[in-house]
Amino acid sequence: MRKKLKLIGQKFNKLTVVSFAYMKNHQSYWYCKCNCGNQHIVVARHLTSGGIKSCGCSHNIHKLSKTRFYAIWHGMKQRCLNSNRKVYKYYGAKGIKVCDRWLEFKNFKDDMNFLIVNGLR
């Protein structure tokens, strides 16, 4: 029998190994938590080789990168964080900041959708 890897607590791209899940066909599977909050079971060799980088949330965000909603989020970050932008002097230079939570597009999208669905906009 193979020696079981000690992966608990290790971070592989956006995934952090939480615990051992099971063995199947001589491969170890691990419970991982993604930066987006989702849990995902991953084969150890996919983690250690870099073959998997997230729970799949990155693919969903990539699909949205061509939308107006993504452009609004990206523009907001540019105005507040990128000192090379002309309009930075009106936003970031005056102390206007983007909260840490909104630095991740998924969090911004979730919060805005909540406001729209609940009529709080």
pLDDT of residue 121: 57
Backbone φ and ψ of 28, nearest 5°: -95, 140
Assess if residue 5 is contained within a domain: no
Q: Domain range spanning residue 40?
A: 11-56
3-state secondary structure of 17: strand
Assess if residue 83 is contained within a domain: yes
pLDDT tens-digit readout, 22-54: 999 888 999 999 887 888 899 998 888 888 888
Average pLDDT, the chain: 85
User: How many angstroms separate the CA atoms of 47 and 5, rounded?
Assistant: 11
Assess if residue 1 is contained within a domain: no
- The angle that helices 57-64 and 68-81 make with each other, rounded to 10 degrees, is 90
Q: How confident is the model at residue 1 (pLDDT cuts 50, 70, 90)?
A: very low
Pick the more confident residue, 115 or 18.
Answer: 18
Cβ atoms of 12 and 50 within 8 Å: the answer is yes
pTM to 2 decimals? Answer: 0.50
User: How many angstroms separate the CA atoms of 54 and 85, rounded?
Assistant: 31
pLDDT tens-digit readout, 79-112: 999 999 999 999 999 999 999 999 888 889 888 8
Assess if residue 88 is contained within a domain: yes
Cβ atoms of 5 and 49 within 8 Å: the answer is no
Assess if residue 106 is contained within a domain: yes
Q: How confident is the model at residue 4 (pLDDT cuts 50, 70, 90)?
A: low
Assess if residue 2 is contained within a domain: no
Domain C-terminal end among 56, 73, 91: 56
Assess if residue 28 is contained within a domain: yes
pLDDT of residue 81: 93
Say yes or no: 51 and 69 in one domain: no
Say yes or no: 78 and 107 in one domain: yes
Which are the contacts of 68, defined by CB distance < 8 A and separation ≥ 6? none
If one counts the domains in the chain, the total is: 2
| % of the chain exceeding 90 in pLDDT | 42
Say yes or no: 34 and 75 in one domain: no
Say yes or no: 77 and 113 in one domain: yes
Assess if residue 45 is contained within a domain: yes
